Structure 1
Amino acid sequence: MLHSYLFPISYAFMSFPFAALLFTLPFLIVQYRKYGYINKVRAFVLYLFLLYLLNAFFLVILPLPATRHNPALASGAMQLLPLNFINDILRETSVIGGDPSTYLHLLKERAFLQVIFNILITVPFGMVLRYYFRTGWVRSILYSFLLSLFFEVTQLTGIYGLYDHAYRVFDVDDLIMNTLGGICGYLAAEWLSGLLPRIEKLDEDVNVSTKRVTYTRRAIAFLIDSVIWPILMAMCYVLHIPASFWVATGIYFILIPWFTDGLTPGKWMVRIRLTKMGDRITLAALFKRYGLLYWVFFGLNRLLAGSLDNIPDIGRLFLGIVVFFMNAWFFIHLVIHLFKKDPMLFYEKFSKTRQVVLWKTPSEETEKEPA
């Protein structure tokens, strides 16, 4: 029976890196917007919670049927009699009521162990609900029930139609035991809170003004902008606007930040903005910053990747050499600055611009310079 549990757990651990990769971007965006920085304790708890959910899910759905066209369950797909597990235990157990020495046999009985498993599988869920999410007991019970209901419906529907028939029984006793496990976890969370940092106090001694704008944060903003900005460029192209790339980048990265006091949609999402060394960003500074970055650096790459039919072969060769050395230099420049305390890149120093953290105080939203 132990092997039947180790098998899905091993799959959960193997799939965790991929799930964590998908989880990381929304996690970072939420943390930056809500707290202004990434707290290691908060990150550890949430990634551990993700690992737990994967384990719980795989323990419930694995092993899968050998074929999608699985036969219907002979005993029926639903068991709706509450506490029917007691009859299962009495029927299968070798325990003798008047002989206490046989009571340990329960630890080897499938029906009894199944009940214990159904309780234990949601204990961590109830603990995290109370410790991290600070839910009350009513919502914790409700969420534990809904998690169990999700598991049961997944099995009943053959993973929502992936299989022809249910491959495990929808058991009302599983709903009861899973919900009980969530309650036990909720009660145990009080003990857990005494061993770990209090979630509500994680940010008490943190001054967001000491947090510099990291390259990770900047990369997320750039990633978001890289999804929106091409839409504007495509619109310019459809409208037959000449030099669509340069026009779109000028509107998106120069005019929009000028009107919004240094914000693009990506920067707004992760709560950072551009300033001219702490002062309001100017149109001239934006021209220097993004003109150099997008119109010159990325612009030359764009020319090389585009149509150059009107340029002689020697011209294309020369442009290719220039772009190669330019890209190599930029890569080295970026790597060096990744390990330096001063994160300002060449176009930032040239334009005397920098990115600062946006944060809300009780009275107003203020700019806080990175350390």
Structure 2
Amino acid sequence: MLHSYLFPISYAFMSFPFAALLFTLPFLIVQYRKYGYVNKVRALVLYLFLLYLLNALFLVILPLPSSRHNPALASGAMQLVPLNFINDILKETSVIGSDPSTYLHLLKERAFLQVVFNILLTVPFGMILRYYFRTGWVRSILFSFLLSLFFEVTQLTGIYGLYDHAYRVFDVDDLMMNTLGGICGFLAAEWLSGLLPRIEKLDEQVDLSAKRVTYTRRAIAFMIDSFIWPILMGILFLLHVPAAFWVATGMYFILLPWWTGGVTPGKWMVRIRLTKAGERITLAALVKRYGLLYWIFFGLNRLLAGSLDNVPDIARLLLGIVAFVMNAWFFIHVVIHVFKKDPTLFYENMSRTRHVILWHAKSEQQEKEPV
């Protein structure tokens, strides 16, 4: 029976890196938006919670039927008699009530172990609900029940129509034991809270103004902006605006931040903004900063990516060499600064601009509920 549990757990651990990869971007955006930074304890708890949910799901749905056209369950797809597990235990047990030495046999019997498993399955869920999400009794019981109901419905529907028939029984006893496990976890969370940092106090000593803006945060902002500004460039192309690339980058990365005080949609999403020597960003500083980056550096790459049919071969060769040297130098420049944890690149030094965390005292005073 142990092997039947180890099999889905091994699959959950193998799937975790892929699930974590999908989870990371929204996790970082929410953390930057809500708290202004990423706390290691908060990150650890949430990734462990993700790992737990994967294990719980795989334990419930694996192993899968060998074919999508699986036969219907001979005993029926639903067991709606409460506490029916007691009859199963009495029917299968070798325990003799008058002989205490036989009581340990329960630890080897399928019906009993199944009940224990269904309770233990949701204990971590109840613990995290209370410790991290700080839910009360009613919500913890409700969420534990809903999680169990999700598991049972998933099985009953053959993973929502993926299989022709249910391949496991919808059991009301499972609902009851899973909910009980959530309650046990809720009670155990009081002990857990004494061993770990209090979630509600994680941000008390944090000075956001002293924190540097990481390259990860800047990369997320740039990624978001890279989905938006090409739309503007496409519109300019449709309108036959000359030099649409340079006009679009100028409007989006220079005029927009000048008007908003150093913020683009991507920077707003992760709560950062541009300043010049700690003051409001100026148009001249933005022209120097992004003119160097987009109009010259990226602009040359843009030219080479376009049509150069009318350019002599020797000129194209020289432009290619110049672009290769620039790209190689820029790549090395960024890598060196990343490893040195120095957030200022060449165009930032020349323009005397830098990123700071966009945060307000009003936001810091708001009650924070973990996400």
TM range (shorter): over 0.9
Normalising by structure 1, report the TM-score.
0.96
Map of 1:127-206 to 2, 5 A cutoff? Answer: 127-206=127-206
Where structure 1 has 5 or more consecutive residues not aligned to the other structure, the ranges are 366-371
Deviation per CA, 1:235-269: give whole Å up to 9, x if none: 22222222221111111111111111100001001
Q: How far apart in 1 are the matches of 2:363 and 2:64?
A: 56
Q: CA deviation at 1:12?
A: 0.6
Where structure 2 has 5 or more consecutive residues not aligned to the other structure, the ranges are 366-371
Deviation per CA, 1:301-320: give whole Å up to 9, x if none: 11111222221222221111
**Which residue in the other structure is 2:343 paired with?**
343
Deviation per CA, 1:46-91: give whole Å up to 9, x if none: 1111111110011001000101111111111111111111111111
Q: How far apart in 2 are the matches of 1:320 and 1:280?
A: 38
Q: How far apart in 2 are the matches of 1:306 and 1:150?
A: 53
Q: How far apart in 2 are the matches of 1:329 and 1:186?
A: 55
Map of 1:264-303 to 2, 5 A cutoff? Answer: 264-303=264-303
Q: CA deviation at 1:164?
A: 1.0
**Which residue in the other structure is 2:50 paired with?**
50
- CA distance 1:219–1:51, change in 2 (3 Å): same
DSSP-derived class of the 1:359 partner = coil
Paired residue type of 2:299: G
Paired residue type of 1:330: F
Paired residue type of 1:249: T
Q: CA deviation at 1:234?
A: 1.6
Q: How far apart in 1 are the matches of 2:141 and 2:246?
A: 56
Map of 1:57-76 to 2, 5 A cutoff? Answer: 57-76=57-76
Q: How far apart in 2 are the matches of 1:233 and 1:150?
A: 45
Q: How far apart in 1 are the matches of 2:115 and 2:73?
A: 21
**Which residue in the other structure is 1:238 paired with?**
238
Displacement over 6 Å in runs of 4+? none
Q: How far apart in 1 are the matches of 2:73 and 2:34?
A: 48
Deviation per CA, 1:106-156: give whole Å up to 9, x if none: 111101100000000000000000000101111011111111111111111
**Which residue in the other structure is 1:369 paired with?**
none
Q: CA deviation at 1:363?
A: 8.5
Normalising by structure 2, report the TM-score.
0.96
DSSP-derived class of the 2:242 partner = coil
- CA distance 1:363–1:88, change in 2 (3 Å): closer
Q: How far apart in 2 are the matches of 1:127 and 1:194?
A: 12
DSSP-derived class of the 1:73 partner = coil
DSSP-derived class of the 1:354 partner = strand
Q: Percent identity?
A: 85
Q: CA deviation at 1:342?
A: 3.3
**Which residue in the other structure is 2:116 paired with?**
116
Give the number of equivalent residue pairs.
Answer: 365
Q: RMSD between aligned alpha carbons? A: 1.3
**Which residue in the other structure is 2:18 paired with?**
18
| More moved, 206-215 vs 187-196 | 206-215
DSSP-derived class of the 1:203 partner = coil
**Which residue in the other structure is 1:258 paired with?**
258
DSSP-derived class of the 2:237 partner = helix
Deviation per CA, 1:291-346: give whole Å up to 9, x if none: 11011111111111122222122222111111000000001111111122532101
Q: CA deviation at 1:33?
A: 1.1
| More moved, 198-207 vs 340-349 | 340-349
Paired residue type of 1:84: N
Deviation per CA, 1:203-228: give whole Å up to 9, x if none: 11111122101111111111111111
Map of 1:219-234 to 2, 5 A cutoff? Answer: 219-234=219-234
DSSP-derived class of the 1:7 partner = helix
Q: How far apart in 1 are the matches of 2:226 and 2:289?
A: 17
Q: How far apart in 2 are the matches of 1:89 and 1:26?
A: 45
Q: How far apart in 2 are the matches of 1:338 and 1:213?
A: 12
- CA distance 1:186–1:56, change in 2 (3 Å): same
